[in-house]
């Protein structure tokens, strides 16, 4: 069961998996892996990433 997560923690996990921040536009960080997988992490002050979006991020990075 997924629980809402802090965007900073999500970025930290993705970084340990080899993703790098390729760019940031406003409150959204685009992270890409050297093999081409890409995902977007929203940064809104005081808000966690809810389970639906977290599930989408997991699908984007290939952890089905």
Q: pLDDT by residue (tens digit) across 14-42?
A: 999 999 999 999 999 999 999 999 999 99
Query: 1-13 pLDDT, tens per residue?
Result: 899 999 999 999 9
Apex 43 CA angle, 42 and 46, nearest 5: 130
Give all domains of the chain, ordered by start, each with its CATH number: 7-61 (3.30.920.30)
Is 0.75 topped by the overall pTM?
yes
């Amino acid at each position: 069961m997924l629980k809402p997560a802090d965007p900073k923690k999500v970025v930290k996990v993705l970084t340990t998996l080899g993703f790098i921040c390729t760019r940031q536009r406003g409150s959204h960080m685009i992270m890409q892996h050297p093999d081409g997988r890409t995902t977007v992490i929203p940064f809104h002050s005081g808000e966690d990433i809810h389970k639906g979006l977290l599930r989408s991020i997991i699908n984007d990075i290939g952890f089905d």
